[in-house]
Chains A and B, each alone.
Chain A
Amino acid sequence: MFKNIYAWLDERLGFDDLYKGLLDRPEPHGNWWNTLGSASLFLFIMQGATGIFLTVYYTPSPDHAYDSIQYIMNGVAFGWLIRGIHHWGASLMVLVVFIHMLRTFFSASYKYPRELTWIIGSFLFLLTLGMGFTGYLLPFNQRAYWATVVATNIGGVVPGVGPFILRALRGGADVSALTLSRFFSAHIWMLPAALAALIGVHLYLIMRHGESAYPDADD
C-alpha cells in the first residue's frame, strides 16, 4: 500500500527525479573537509529549530528578557537543553562556517565557474556573524549589555557616518529597549530570512556546478 501511495505522490511530485538530480549526483573522491558545507546547513537548521522553540518563552523586553531566560533555564522542562544547544550551536556555527570558507579558499574551489558561490558564501559568513552579534544581546545580562555598548561604539567610529550608524544600530543614542527589540527582530526575522534565501541560491549553485575536484599531481 505504501508503494502505491509513494507511486501516486511520486508521479505528481517527481521525488525520484529530484533525488537523482540533487542528492544522487556524482561526487569527486570523498574528503571529510567537503562535508563542512552540509555541517553548516545542519547547524543553521538546528539553530532555527531551537531558536523557534526558545521564542515560546523568551520575551524581548528589558523588564522580562533576563527573567524569561532564567525561567527557560530553571523553570521549564528541558529548557536548559534547548537553550544550551542554541548557545553552543551558535559558536559552533561561526566556527564551522569559517573553516568551510578556509577549505574553499585553500582548495581553490572559488575559481571559475564557482565565483558566485564564493561571493554568496562570503555574505553567508557575514550574516552568520550578524546572527551572533544580535543574539548576544538577547539575554540582556551585564555581559550582553556592555558587549553591545562596545560593539555598537565600534560602528560609531566610522568616519563621517559613524554617529548615524551608531544611532541606527541602537535605535537611538543609548542601548535601550529599542535596541533589544530591533536586535531581536533582526535575529529572528531579517537575518534568518536573508540567510535562508542566500543558502537557497548557494545550494542551487552547488547542484548546478557540482563539487570541485581536488587538484592532483598533473594539475
Chain B
Amino acid sequence: MASSHRISRRDFVKVTTVALSTIMGAAMGIPVIGYLIDPALKVQSSEAWIPLGPLESYPIGTPKAFSFTRSNINGWEKTVNSYGGFILKKSDSDILALSNRCTHLSCSVNWDEGREEYVCPCHDAQFGSEGEVNAGPPPHALDRFETKVEEGNLFVLFPAVPHHEG
C-alpha cells in the first residue's frame, strides 16, 4: 500500500522529536558550557604603570618610600591591596625602585638612616641599599620595579619582579 519511501506518521513524529530535542539540547548546552567556563577565559592583566609624581621630588642618594594600592576584582568581590617600596635616585637617569616586601615572609622593610640598610621588623633581616641581602633569613634580594620617566614624572611597573644578582 504505502510505498517504501513514504514516511509513516509514527516515524515522522519520532524523527521530529529527536531533531527538535537535539536542536534544543545544543541551543541550551553551548551557552551552559560558556557560562561555566567564563571566569576561566577572563585573564586579568595586572600589569600597570603606577605614577609616582615628579622625579625632582625624589632626593639623590637617599631611598624615599612610596606606596600605592591596587584593586582586584573577582566576580562580585573586590579586594584592595596596598603595596609599597623605595625609590633610590642615584642620578636623573639611574633610578632604582625596590619593593618593600621582605623576601623572607613578606613583612614590610624600613630604611634605617643610621645603618644605611633596609631592616625587616619581623626577623631582623637586613638588605643593602641595592636590595641585596646583608644578613638574616631572606633567600634572595628585594624585588624590583621597572621604572620609566615621562615628562619629568616617575612611573614604576606593577608588579615588582624578583631580582637575582649576577
Q: Which residues of B contact A57 (CB under 8 A)?
A: 75
| A68 at interface, CB cutoff 8 A | yes
Taken together as a complex, chains A and B put the C-alpha atoms of A210 and B45 apart, in Å, by 62
- B window 38-62: CB within 8 A of A: 38-39, 41
Task: Tell me the dominant secondary structure on chain B's binding face.
Answer: helix
Taken together as a complex, chains A and B put the C-alpha atoms of A203 and B60 apart, in Å, by 84
Q: Which residues of B contact A59 (CB under 8 A)?
A: 76
Contacting pair B76 A67 (CB below 8 A): yes
Contacting pair B76 A64 (CB below 8 A): yes
Contacting pair A75 B35 (CB below 8 A): no
Q: Which residue of chain B is the closest to A78 with respect to CB atoms?
A: B31
Q: Which residues of B contact A68 (CB under 8 A)?
A: 75-76
Taken together as a complex, chains A and B put the C-alpha atoms of A75 and B39 apart, in Å, by 9
Q: What is the distance, in angstroms, from A164's C-beta to the closest C-beta of chain B? A: 36
Q: Which residue of chain B is the closest to A82 with respect to CB atoms?
A: B35
Q: Which residue of chain A is the closest to B41 with respect to CB atoms?
A: A77
Number of cross-chain contacts by CB at 8 Å = 37
Which one, B34, B76, B77, contacts A78 given CB within 8 A?
B34
- A window 13-67: CB within 8 A of B: 53, 56-57, 59, 64, 67
| B15 at interface, CB cutoff 8 A | no
Residue-by-residue, is B65-76 near A (CB-CB < 8 Å gives 1, otherwise 0)? 000000000011
Taken together as a complex, chains A and B put the C-alpha atoms of A82 and B32 apart, in Å, by 8
Contacting pair B31 A81 (CB below 8 A): yes
| B36 at interface, CB cutoff 8 A | yes
Which one, A56, A70, A77, contacts B76 given CB within 8 A?
A70
Q: Which residues of A contact B76 (CB under 8 A)?
A: 59, 64, 67-68, 70-71, 75
Contacting pair B75 A82 (CB below 8 A): no
Q: What is the distance, in angstroms, from B31's C-beta to the closest C-beta of chain A? A: 4
Q: What is the distance, in angstroms, from A119's C-beta to the closest C-beta of chain B? A: 32
Residues of A within 8 A of B (CB): 53, 56-57, 59, 64, 67-68, 70-71, 75-79, 81-82
Residues of B within 8 A of A (CB): 31-32, 34-36, 38-39, 41, 75-77
Closest 4 CB pairs of A and B: A67-B76, A78-B31, A77-B38, A71-B76
